[in-house]
């Protein structure tokens, strides 16, 4: 199963792209990609990873709505009978194909990388800045992560620490087979309505670039000039030489990425221009993680998206997908459950897996008193280690362990200190040696980027230890 999941994740999985479109988390340009990623995560992490986000009664209702589970079994006391019923249900996995990767995917990445680095090499000369798809462009309540953007800030846009507010002067999307509709229709319309002045669609398979320029509120197709170049109206002095793009992509590993003939600058240059990122308080962890998971989809706000969505760095180890660590995976599951609702989510795994996870969860909750006592013992051992070996004096516990609610799949031991060095690897290593299940997380109360729930817990719930 691990080998099969790895192959699907690497070769047939969605593109590493996490966007907020129409209040839904869209993965790799399609909702099919969102469903596939959620299935991959649940296959690797287990159905119990999702069960923690809603009451058991809500999951039972989802099984009734989706699989017509017998009403007589829809309570926690009848889960064993429900498990017997679930074995009689025959299901086939959804055929979730978000698009084509393979060789096209690597060519796509090379084209994107070439354009990003070539623009980065001259962005100061153009009095602007450029980013690739890990940076969000906010258009209304949507959060897009184009393959490449170039922006110059006011009056068209404002750059904040975690996103660009308003349309960039130039947006580039590089096509992947199977994703054309999103780039050619959905994003084309959103970019046009939001006033993105220049939208380029790069087709690696055909080695062609479409240039769309906003004229009187409508995109009009543009052509190359007599020299085979293109000069975007929104970025004066910038000249694009498309004939160099394809050869540069093929030879990307052989040359200085920033010294590229793909782009050039005409006339006077601006040197040494410094861009300033504004901190408006909206960023990773600024909203407490509390996804509203219901039977039907629940809209995700832009604030929740920015606060909860991890960097789209898709990795695989320990036999399962890894995106932004444990917290990133947790957040993605919550957001994807909001996107689809429980009735749709239960279609991604066989009913037997959901019922087994429900049984495991009820047993987990039943033993909560004993588990909390054991976890408190671990917390005290961790505190003793931190005092004796690292000289820490003030320590406290926050999070699920200090609350009255039962521990859940995502609970961990959270220890707060006011004396944590910036990057003392040995501390983390020692805590990992003490316990890996549950994980022991050490949190610096002085850290700048504490998540909102951590700040609240330190102020209102901390128990000195």
- The pLDDT tens digits of the residues spanning 102-151 come to 556 667 888 888 899 899 889 888 889 998 888 999 999 999 999 999 99
| 175-209 tens-digit pLDDT | 988 788 889 999 999 999 999 999 999 998 889 99
pLDDT of residue 395: 97
* Omega within 30 of 0 (cis) for the link into 72: no
pLDDT of residue 164 exceeding 60, the answer is yes
Judge whether 122 and 116 are in contact, CB under 8 Å: no
Q: If pLDDT is split at 50, 70 and 90, which confidence band does 273 have?
A: low
pLDDT of residue 448: 76
Q: If pLDDT is split at 50, 70 and 90, which confidence band does 323 have?
A: very high
In a shared domain, residues 150 and 219: yes
Query: What separation in angstroms does the CA of 177 have from each of 143, 180, 265?
Result: 23, 7, 33
In a shared domain, residues 361 and 375: no
Q: If pLDDT is split at 50, 70 and 90, which confidence band does 447 have?
A: confident
Domain end (from 366, 389, 411): 366
User: What is the model's pTM?
Assistant: 0.93
More confident residue, 109 or 424: 109
Q: Say how far apart CA 42 and CA 112 lie, in whole Å.
A: 30
In a shared domain, residues 400 and 287: no
Domain end (from 340, 366, 392): 366
Domain of 224, CATH number, reads 3.90.1570.10
pLDDT of residue 57 exceeding 80, the answer is yes
Residues 6+ apart with CB under 8 A from 153: 128, 129, 159, 275
In a shared domain, residues 273 and 385: no
Judge whether 292 and 338 are in contact, CB under 8 Å: yes
SS3 assignment, position 248: helix
| 71-110 tens-digit pLDDT | 766 676 788 888 888 888 888 888 887 765 555 666 788 8
In a shared domain, residues 201 and 232: yes
Percent of the chain exceeding pLDDT 70 equals: 93
pLDDT of residue 15: 86
- Least confident range from 203-212, 270-279, 330-339: namely 270-279
SS3 assignment, position 8: helix
Domain of 407, CATH number, reads 3.30.460
In a shared domain, residues 94 and 181: yes
In a shared domain, residues 362 and 457: no
Range of the domain at 85: 1-366
| 216-265 tens-digit pLDDT | 999 999 999 999 999 999 999 999 999 999 887 777 555 555 677 899 99
pLDDT of residue 99: 65
Nearest to 129 by CA among 139, 137, 119, 138: 119
In a shared domain, residues 345 and 403: no
In a shared domain, residues 97 and 80: yes
CA 104 to chain centre: 23
In a shared domain, residues 423 and 329: no
The total number of structural domains that make up the chain? 2
In a shared domain, residues 193 and 339: yes
pLDDT of residue 73: 67
Q: Mean pLDDT score of the chain, rounded to an integer?
A: 90
| 238-251 tens-digit pLDDT | 999 999 998 877 77
pLDDT of residue 270: 64
Domain end (from 325, 345, 366): 366
In a shared domain, residues 348 and 378: no
């Amino acid at each position: 199963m691990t080998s099969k999941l790895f192959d699907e994740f690497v070769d047939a999985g969605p593109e590493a792209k996490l966007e907020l479109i129409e209040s839904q988390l869209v993965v790799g340009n399609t909702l099919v990609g969102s469903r596939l990623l959620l299935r991959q995560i649940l296959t690797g992490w287990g159905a119990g990873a999702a069960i923690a986000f809603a009451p058991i009664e809500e999951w039972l209702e989802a099984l009734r709505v989706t699989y017509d589970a017998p009403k007589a079994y829809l309570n926690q006391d009848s889960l064993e009978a429900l498990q017997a019923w679930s074995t009689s249900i025959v299901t086939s996995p959804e055929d979730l194909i978000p698009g084509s990767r393979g060789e096209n995917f690597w060519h796509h990445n090379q084209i994107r990388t070439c354009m990003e680095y070539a623009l980065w090499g001259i962005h100061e000369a153009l009095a602007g800045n450029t980013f690739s798809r890990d940076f969000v462009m906010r258009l209304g309540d949507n959060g897009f992560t184009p393959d490449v953007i170039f922006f110059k800030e006011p009056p068209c846009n404002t750059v904040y620490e975690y996103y660009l507010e308003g349309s960039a002067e130039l947006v580039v999307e590089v096509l992947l087979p199977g994703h054309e509709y999103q780039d050619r229709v959905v994003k084309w319309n959103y970019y046009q309505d939001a006033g993105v002045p220049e939208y380029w669609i790069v087709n690696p398979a055909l080695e062609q670039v479409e240039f769309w320029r906003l004229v009187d509120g409508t995109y009009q197709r543009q052509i190359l000039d007599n020299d085979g170049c293109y000069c975007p109206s929104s970025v004066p002095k910038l000249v694009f030489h498309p004939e160099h793009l394809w050869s540069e992509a093929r030879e990307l590993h052989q040359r200085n990425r920033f010294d590229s003939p793909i782009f050039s600058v005409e006339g006077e240059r601006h040197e040494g221009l410094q861009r300033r990122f504004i901190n408006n308080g909206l960023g990773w962890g600024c909203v407490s993680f509390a996804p509203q998971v219901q039977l039907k989809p629940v809209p995700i706000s832009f604030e929740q998206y920015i606060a909860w969505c991890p960097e789209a760095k898709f990795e695989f180890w320990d036999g399962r997908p890894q995106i932004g660590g444990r917290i990133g995976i947790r957040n993605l599951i919550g957001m994807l459950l909001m996107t689809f609702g429980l009735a749709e989510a239960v279609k991604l795994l066989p009913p037997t897996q959901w019922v087994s996870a429900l049984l495991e969860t009820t047993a987990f909750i039943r033993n909560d008193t004993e588990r909390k006592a054991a976890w408190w013992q671990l917390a005290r051992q961790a505190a003793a280690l931190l005092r004796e070996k690292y000289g820490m004096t003030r320590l406290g516990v926050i999070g699920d362990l200090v609350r009255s609610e039962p521990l859940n799949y995502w609970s961990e031991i959270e220890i707060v200190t006011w004396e944590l060095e910036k990057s003392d690897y040995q501390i983390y290593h020692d805590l990992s040696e003490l316990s890996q299940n549950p994980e022991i997380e050490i949190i610096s109360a002085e850290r700048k980027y504490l998540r909102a729930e951590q700040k609240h817990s330190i102020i209102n719930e901390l128990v000195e230890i």
